[in-house]
Chain A
Amino acid sequence: MAGADSPSAALRRRDLCARGIRLVGKMRSDVIDLLDTYMERQGLDASANVAAVEGVPPAAVERWDEQTGTQRLLENLAAYRAFRALLAQMLEEQREQLGEADTALGRALAAVLLQVSAFAYHLEELLRLESRSPPSEEGDGPPPQPRLSLFEQKLRGLGVLRELAQWALRSARDLRQLAKPGPGTGSAPSLAESP
């Protein structure tokens, strides 16, 4: 297998990053539309303040510019794997609540879930390119949660979608950092200091 810094690997990385950026851009746009639908269907207000929801990976990060390429990929992968499980759970709750499998909201959730899975796979590809095998998935999803009330479920769903929208923003930036030519992604890329 070509070394992580070989010209062909660099080309493949740039190509994967470019496609990943497009994927995640479309995903973000869909998540934002889904947020509107979700709030409307669940009777929630845009001002609903959702504190950090347990089990939802926060997109917020300190010293973002100092992260190595591998760190970025690993954190992204862990996050999207978590979102995959969370969205599957939301879809299940949705079906329980409404009894029908095929509502507009359900379809929109399923579409986003598909994109999240696709992006997770994309990240695994990028990790393989860094000569890192992706970490195995721990367990089968989020740890068993105490049964939430219907309202708590709705708020939790809002928190999941909002955080996913933030992650989609961050992932695009992460991939652009990754795609920058220069020293191998193992070393820390840093923002040029502006005057």
Chain B
Amino acid sequence: DMPIQYERVGADVTMKCGSMDWDAAVTWTVNGTDIDESRLNGSYLILKNVNLTQSGQYSCYEGSSWHLKYQTYLRVGTPPKEPVLMCRSNNYPKGFYCSWHLPTPTYISNSFNISVIHGTKEMVCEKDAVPKNRCHIRYLQLFSTVKYKVTLTVTNALGKNFTTLTFDEFAIVKPDPPESVVAKPVPNNPRRLEVSWQNPSSWPDPESFPLKFFLRYRPLILDQWQHVELSDGTSHTITDAYAGKEYIIQVAAKDNDIGTWSDWSVAVHATPWTEEPKHLTTEAQITETTSASTSSFMAPPTTKICDKGAMVGSGAVAVCWTAGLVVAAYSVLFI
């Protein structure tokens, strides 16, 4: 087995050719390629201020016989920086998980050790196969005021580092987002959308640990969200949608009493019901409200804004003046 030599980025490295004397004639190669003699000090190989590209297999051969005298694998890397650790319970009250990563790569292999202490008790955090860098732990006690202390230590051949998190049982509770969000138009209701969703499947006992929900929705053409908080139930009817406009809708969840809101669910799109365009006759043209095909307010088709007595104009473009006023007013609002 070839020895591995670990060195920090920027270090100066001197490699000896095994037991050869300093003044022996040798040839060094890196990954099979000869190294220029200018790099040598006698039979020693000098690498100044090493960088990552200099990682590789270094070999030293006796000058005339070309016998292999020494070989090593050089790995250039860095000691670990302080790791980033987070712990979360998305399956309260069963347990929680912690996951971690390094803020910058070390370019060499690292090992992680995690310890969880609750009061005086040391608990075992079982490492997950997938994803790596994650472990899970079961709550042995519930409703405890004693904090949990989690320490993660990362070690590699060039050094070690650690970080610690201290938290209460209830502070790290954050459910997964609601699932199966569905939004549907409501027949004959141009301003309604029916939204329904399910509790996240990772939440083990929604009966004893009910979730509350936060719904947000907006038409695609606007930036401002509308919000609704719902303390129970997994459905809600939006009643103030703009007719004919496509909406984007998301839902988030939180335990009723503790913890923080989940991330937003996957977004769903829906457009409220609109009436099919009628086959136009003269009669229909007069009684139908003016509907510009661009973005203007459209009154529900069953509502009559005016009667025939208040008509202005004639023929195909007859418009009742009250309808005209209304449309003009709303058009200004919606520009």
Contacts and interface: CB of A to CB of B under 8 A. Distances in A.
A1 interface: no
A180 B141 contact: no
A64 B257 contact: no
A154 to B, nearest CB: 17
B202 A64 contact: no
Contacts of B93: 64-65
Nearest to A159: B145
A59 interface: yes
Contacts of B202: 194
Contacts of B140: 62
Contacts of A192: 204-205
- Report, as a range, how many residues of chain A touch the other chain: 20 to 34
Contacts of A176: 207-210
B31 interface: no
A170 B208 contact: no
A176 B146 CA distance: 24
B216 interface: no
Interface residues of B, number: 20
Contacts of B25: none
Given A169-B257, A173-B209, A194-B91, A64 B142 contact: yes
A163 interface: yes
11 contacts: A58-B145, A59-B143, A59-B145, A60-B141, A61-B143, A62-B140, A162-B145, A166-B143, A180-B208, A191-B204, A194-B94
Given A59-B145, A60-B141, A61-B141, 18 more contacts: A28-B257, A59-B144, A60-B142, A60-B146, A61-B142, A62-B142, A64-B93, A65-B93, A163-B145, A166-B144, A166-B145, A169-B258, A173-B208, A176-B209, A176-B210, A191-B205, A192-B204, A194-B94
Interface of A: 25, 28, 58-62, 64-65, 162-163, 166-167, 169-170, 172-173, 176-177, 180, 191-192, 194
Interface of B: 91, 93-94, 140-146, 170, 202, 204-205, 207-210, 257-258
